[in-house]
A and B are shown apart, each in its own frame.
Chain A
Amino acid sequence: MFHYALRRLLNSIPLILGITFLTFLFIHMAPGDFLSGLRLNPQVSSATVKAYSAQFGLDKPLLQQYLIWLGNLLRGDLGYSFAYHAKVTDIIGPRALNTLLLSVVVIFITWSAAIPLAMAAALRPNGVLDRVLSFFSYICIATPVFIWAFLFLYLSMLTGWLPLGGMRSIDYEALSPAGRLCDLARHLIIPALVLALPSIAALQKIMKANLLEALTSSYVLGARARGLTPWRVIFIHALKNAANPMITIFGYQISGLLSGAALTEIITGWPGLGQMTLAAVQAQDIYLVMGTILAGSFLLVAGNLAADLMLAANDPRIRL
């Protein structure tokens, strides 16, 4: 188990390096760089621009710039953001935490809603609940994330129940800790719902299929024949076996959320990694882009690793 984990971990490192190098290439393929605005400005002398260029290391060849960045990374220094005039680590930290918070809440909502729904649907196949759920699932999955975002924001605008995006109200600092928590929760509802609805629909479908398969299997029949109560049969026998494929899905959901949340963050104004990446890319703020993509890849790879490890812990055959 330990060897498997170590192997997977070592495999992930070249992966992340490859992704960052690709990104570095792409950012540099863009015409101009962060200082282009300064160069075009007649009031700024070319000597100043050259000095900035040397200071930020923009005049060195590509590979050298990448290696310098890598060297700094190993020392914990992610570089300096041109646009925000601050260290990248200081900017990315809180943003990554926000994205993580959103992802955790979404996963919590998804799983606590999908499992009971799937169980209810599996217990009465083709019943009313089952059919209604299937229909809504199709629509939920087919609706793109941004449409959900628009609809929810529109609803909230009409009713005034929820804030229209962002993460904190203006009077956040003046609230009590309980008040702050409430405020956070209110801001969290729309982005979380927007991301959770398609996940619930997809998860519930898979879970229901697995549960149905488990409920018609021979060990369940045997358990019922031995006289176990239906509740015991479902919770202890059927659910545990149906949950096996769910572990993989759980892991991949974590990683999928981190890249899928970007669009939702941008539309609802949730200050997370996705929003930061868009702004950084548009400003050609190289180190910030590298930092955000590094953070994104890292979280993604960590999620996949967690999924693989959970799977291996569950099923010893996979460790080989």
Chain B
Amino acid sequence: MHRFCKHKPTLIALIVLAGFYLAALAAPFVAPYDYTADDVDHIWAPPSSVHLTHIHATTVSLDKYYRRVYTADPAQVLPLEFFVKGASYRLLGIVPCDRHLFGARGAKIFLLGADSRGRDIFSRLLFGGRISLSIGLVGAGLAFLIGIFVGSLAGYLGGRTDNLLMRLCEMLMMVPAFYLMLAMRASFPPSISSVQVYLLMIVIMSLIGWASIARVIRGMAISLRESEFVSAAQSMGLGTFYIIRRHIIPHTAAYTIAAVVLSIPDYILGEASLSLLGLGIQEPQASWGNMLTDAMGIVNIYLYPWILYPGLFIIVAVAAFNILGERLREVLDPKRP
């Protein structure tokens, strides 16, 4: 643990990720607006000019070609307030509350600009982070649960079961994942609720992803099968599942923990890719991939470069997980194959 924390990039990665997850958890509080709060007057508004204690209100006007022009008006100075009253929400879904972390009364505060419907990008990033970040955790966790179970069973039992399960794994590993995800996702009607889409994406990605984990765990189980404590347990008459649970699986922990952390970025990116194509999380729900669909028309990147902020957050989250996972691997398993 001490060695783990001494490495500076790891510490930074840990802090950044903790910050992301905490902010996503407390999203309604930290975000000044709801993720559906659109504002027709502020379409594609640039980031507001925010200073530490005050903001300058932006005035909207139309130029001679009837395009919107946003100018920060230095004459209108509004105080930046904290714990300000805003739209009401339920903290953690239970406690009704209406204080937000920051805000400015009398003007819209767009920390990171607004999108094509006038919705605040910063707020949508926080609400979207809930979905994108949690899909990573849950998807990786589910895949590993299935993979560890199947892999250890196959390795310990050997013989026909092993053969059958490994053929299945090979088939799943050979599948062109993206194509299958497209086919699977499109086989469900586009009108299912967002909760169902969320669960569906997790299930689809885990069902493709558990195979490679199972292969590795099976290899480890095969070598662990021959060790003395397993023979001792077998001679004591302990059952298969008990031995697997108490003896084999804990010894795979060193590889497993690092591998889970390293696979979380794949799930985050998988969700982002599907949402980008419109096959994942649907509007009006926000997700980091979803928010990037506006960027597909490249002109938008030129006119409103702040639509790429979700991409920045994806990069940071993925890099943090990679750093964390690699460090975990170095610390926990120095003699890895």
Contact = CB atoms under 8 A, between A and B. Distances in A.
Tell me whether A and B are bound partners. Answer: yes
A22 B180 CA distance: 9
Contacts of A207: none
A300 B6 CA distance: 42
Contacts of B276: 146, 263
Contacts of A141: 319, 322
A296 to B, nearest CB: 4
A23 interface: yes
Contact of B314 (A144, A259, A281): A144
Interface in B133-182: 170-171, 174-180, 182
Contact of A144 (B178, B187, B273, B277): B273
B260 to A, nearest CB: 18
Interface of B: 170-171, 174-180, 182-184, 186-189, 265, 269, 272-273, 276-277, 292, 295-296, 298-299, 301-302, 308, 311, 314-316, 318-319, 322-323
A296 B179 contact: yes
Contact of B176 (A29, A263, A284, A296): A296
A12 B184 CA distance: 22
Contact of B183 (A12, A260, A293): A293
A259 B179 contact: yes
Given A147-B308, A150-B298, 13 more contacts: A11-B170, A23-B180, A26-B183, A26-B184, A142-B315, A147-B315, A260-B178, A262-B179, A263-B277, A277-B182, A281-B182, A289-B183, A297-B174
A154 interface: yes
Contacts of B314: 144, 147
B331 to A, nearest CB: 17
A144 B311 contact: yes
B315 A139 contact: yes
B315 A144 contact: yes
Interface of A: 11-12, 15, 18-19, 22-23, 26-31, 138-139, 141-147, 150, 153-154, 157-158, 164, 258-260, 262-263, 266-267, 274, 277-278, 281-282, 284, 289, 292-293, 296-297, 300-301, 304
A278 B319 contact: no
Nearest to A154: B301
Contacts of B182: 262, 277-278, 281
A300 B318 contact: no
A308 to B, nearest CB: 11
Contacts of B296: 267
Contact of A259 (B177, B186, B311): B177
B298 A30 contact: no
Contacts of B183: 23, 26-27, 277, 281, 289, 293
Given A150-B298, A281-B182, A30 B187 contact: yes
A37 B227 CA distance: 63
Nearest to B317: A142
Contact of B322 (A31, A138, A154, A297): A138
B171 A18 contact: yes
B322 A142 contact: yes
B174 A146 contact: no
B16 to A, nearest CB: 12
Nearest to B173: A304
B189 A31 contact: yes
17 contacts: A19-B174, A26-B187, A29-B187, A141-B319, A144-B269, A144-B273, A146-B276, A150-B298, A150-B308, A154-B301, A157-B298, A259-B177, A262-B182, A278-B277, A293-B176, A293-B180, A296-B176
Given A23-B183, A150-B311, A301 B277 contact: no
Given A150-B301, A157-B302, A297-B174, A282 B186 contact: yes
A11 B167 CA distance: 9
A19 B171 contact: yes
Nearest to A278: B182
Nearest 7 Cβ contacts at the A-B interface: A142-B319, A259-B176, A29-B187, A30-B187, A142-B318, A296-B176, A281-B186
Given A26-B183, A144-B311, A164 B176 contact: no
Contacts of A267: 296
A300 B170 CA distance: 12
Contact of B171 (A15, A26, A144): A15
A254 B189 CA distance: 34
Nearest to A138: B319
Residue among B187, B273, B308 with the most chain A CB within 10 A?
Answer: B187
A141 B311 CA distance: 14
Nearest to A143: B315
B179 A164 contact: no
A143 B312 CA distance: 8
A90 to B, nearest CB: 20
A7 to B, nearest CB: 13
Given A277-B179, A297-B175, A158 B187 contact: no
Contacts of B272: 144, 146
A301 B175 CA distance: 9
Contacts of A27: 183, 186-187
A150 B265 CA distance: 20
A157 B186 CA distance: 33
Residue among A19, A153, A260, A301 with the most chain B CB within 10 A?
Answer: A19
A142 B186 CA distance: 28
Contacts of B180: 19, 22-23, 26, 293
A11 B177 CA distance: 20
Nearest to B276: A146
A146 B171 contact: no
A78 B186 CA distance: 21
Contact of A30 (B175, B188, B316): B188
A79 B179 CA distance: 19
Contacts of A263: 178, 273, 276-277
Given A139-B315, A281-B183, A146 B308 contact: no
